[in-house]
């Protein structure tokens, strides 16, 4: 028996508290997954488990299917667990990112019997660590059909009750300069690779990033040096310097176009792409996305950052972020969530799922 009793499941605030109080730092989701799975027994949903990722689907024969998804893990505790509620705020690790959002999905999975679309609820592990362990990625690789038969996905990551659409892509590139070692007392015999990096830094310093508006969402790009390394010893002219550059690009560029753009800005330098992930267009024309925006009644803004929305986009499923937590509090020691936002979020999502039914 778990902590997720019927009373708790019917109250999204109590459910948030209960989920927060099941410790589930990435890699340690066995118990929370057990409890979530147990809570779904007897709901009539078709439940499948992959590792510590739980998929629960309605089979109502509706013409459309949507996904509601939330991760079960948190970043490591930081003297901020278990939860504590004070003056309308619930404090604790995972309150904002994203057990309040996951609680809304679980609350609806258990209590909403007649959604107007079929719903696939996904509760997944290891979102806060490298992408190879991400439960949604593993599901997308192993059983994509469980996700791709949806026409829209809602990810309940923290957005503070706003709709965040699309996401930026990201590219990491190493720019390398080479020279020739020599004793620094006879430096004219060498060729200083660190000095040769100056034009790379200059190009980045004067670079003017674009701001692009797509479907009313403003995406701000950024091209930045994020690390630099070079040098052998205090008396040696360095023969190599590596500048690591990160390009956060708007989703109107593909990964290939983003790479081509960086090659153009840093033309003449030896470049090596070490990491790349595509962005996601806002995808606001999907009918279910329009309905959701209508239920919210306010315009979306661009997601600045990379989220699993892009994973859905890669599968051809348009997705939005919407959740009660404040994204600025995610991963912080004083992480908290407003109780009102949880109640409002549960109402909004239910209204969207049931309107016209
Ligand atoms: Zn998160």
pLDDT (mean) for 208-237: 95
Using alpha carbons, list the distances in angstroms from residue 124 to 56, 57, 121, 137.
11, 14, 10, 10
Q: What pairing do the DSSP bridges indicate for beta strands 89-91 and 336-338?
A: antiparallel
Given this model, what pLDDT does residue 357 score? 46
Given this model, what pLDDT does residue 216 score? 85
Q: Which residue has the higher pLDDT, 129 or 17?
A: 17
Q: Are 123 and 102 in contact (CB under 8 A)?
A: yes
pLDDT band at 356 (very low <50, low <70, confident <90, very high): low
One of 11, 29, 73, 338 is an active-site residue; which one?
Answer: 73
| HEC readout, 303-350 | CCCCCCHHHHHHCCCCEEECCCCCHHHCCCCCCEEEHHHHHHHHHHHH
Q: What is the pLDDT of residues 106-118, one digit of tens each?
A: 999 999 999 999 9
pLDDT (mean) for 313-335: 92
326 C-alpha to center of ligand 1: Å? 11
Q: What is the pLDDT of residues 165-217, one digit of tens each?
A: 988 899 999 999 999 999 999 999 999 999 999 999 999 999 999 999 998 88
Candidate from 131-135, 180-184, 254-258, 300-304 with smallest mean pLDDT: 300-304
- Percent of the chain exceeding pLDDT 90 equals 83
Q: In the annotation, is 118 catalytic?
A: no
299 C-alpha to center of ligand 1: Å? 22
The residues placing their C-beta within 5 Å of ligand 1, an ion, are: 97-98, 157
One of 127, 164, 221, 338 is an active-site residue; which one?
Answer: 127
pTM, two decimal places = 0.84
182 C-alpha to center of ligand 1: Å? 50
158 C-alpha to center of ligand 1: Å? 7
Average pLDDT, the chain: 94
Given this model, what pLDDT does residue 98 score? 97
Q: Are 100 and 50 in contact (CB under 8 A)?
A: no
Residue 144 CA to its chain's centroid (Å): 19
161 C-alpha to center of ligand 1: Å? 15
Q: In the annotation, is 127 catalytic?
A: yes
pLDDT band at 1 (very low <50, low <70, confident <90, very high): very low
- Percent of the chain exceeding pLDDT 70 equals 99
Given this model, what pLDDT does residue 210 score? 97
98 C-alpha to center of ligand 1: Å? 5
């Amino acid at each position: 028996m778990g902590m997720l009793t019927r009373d708790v499941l019917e109250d999204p605030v109590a459910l948030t508290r209960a989920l927060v109080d099941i410790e589930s730092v990435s890699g340690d989701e066995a118990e929370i997954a057990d409890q979530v799975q147990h809570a779904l027994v007897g709901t009539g949903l078709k439940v499948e488990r992959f590792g510590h990722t739980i998929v629960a689907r309605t089979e109502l024969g509706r013409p459309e299917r949507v996904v509601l998804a939330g991760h079960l893990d948190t970043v490591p505790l930081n003297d901020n667990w278990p939860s504590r509620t004070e003056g309308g705020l619930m404090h604790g690790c995972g309150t904002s990112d994203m057990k309040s959002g996951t609680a809304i999905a679980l609350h609806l999975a258990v209590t909403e019997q007649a959604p107007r679309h079929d719903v696939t609820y996904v509760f997944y592990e290891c979102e806060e660590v490298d992408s190879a362990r991400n439960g949604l990625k593993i599901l997308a690789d192993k059983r994509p059909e469980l996700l791709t038969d949806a026409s829209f996905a809602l990810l309940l990551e923290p957005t503070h009750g706003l709709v965040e659409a699309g996401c930026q892509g990201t590219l990491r590139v190493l720019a390398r300069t080479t020279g020739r070692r020599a004793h620094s007392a006879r430096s004219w015999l060498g060729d200083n690779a660190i000095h040769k990096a100056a034009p790379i830094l200059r190009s980045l310093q004067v670079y003017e990033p674009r701001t692009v508006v797509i479907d009313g969402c403003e995406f701000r790009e950024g091209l930045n040096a994020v690390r630099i390394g070079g040098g052998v010893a205090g008396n040696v002219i360095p023969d190599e310097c590596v500048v690591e550059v990160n390009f956060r690009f708007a989703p109107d560029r593909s990964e290939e176009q983003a790479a081509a753009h960086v090659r153009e800005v840093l033309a003449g330098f030896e470049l090596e792409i070490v990491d790349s992930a595509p962005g996601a267009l806002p995808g606001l024309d999907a009918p279910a996305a329009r309905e959701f925006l209508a239920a919210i009644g306010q315009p979306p803004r661009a997601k600045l950052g990379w989220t699993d929305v892009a994973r859905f986009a890669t599968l051809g499923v348009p997705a939005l972020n919407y959740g009660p937590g404040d994204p600025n509090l995610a991963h912080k020691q004083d992480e908290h969530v407003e109780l009102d936002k949880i109640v409002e979020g549960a109402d909004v999502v239910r209204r969207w799922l049931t309107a016209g039914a």
